Structure 1
């Protein structure tokens, strides 16, 4: 049971570390208020936290892991 817990914690910790690192890079690349595209939808980047980013869409707020922000989001420049 201890080995199973350690294994589960190790995999979970890996996701946390990836999101923290992605958040660091996202803060360098994105600016709050940027118009972004994710999954073909347009929204405004409202915040980048330690693990997640907040994107305001027209009818909802998306909370996405920072890894998705760095891998799937495109900045729309006018």
Structure 2
């Protein structure tokens, strides 16, 4: 699923999508998602293989703790 640049995509919306345990790829650059979204993905999407979240503004969007939680929860992953 590609939500890049969709500022109206929020934690609540992504949490609903995350309940699809077969979700394998999500792109959330330029959305309104926060750490809560990463925790939802970590909790409900163990098969997640790819998440694109990088913010090139120079300000980290997600905490290291949330990224580590997602990394540790997913079986196969590429996080960029």
> With structure 1 as the length reference, what TM-score do the two structures score?
0.23
More helix by share: 1
Which structure would you say has the larger Rg? Answer: 1
- Output the TM-score relative to the length of structure 2: 0.22
Q: Would you tell me which structure has more strand in proportion to its own residues?
A: 1
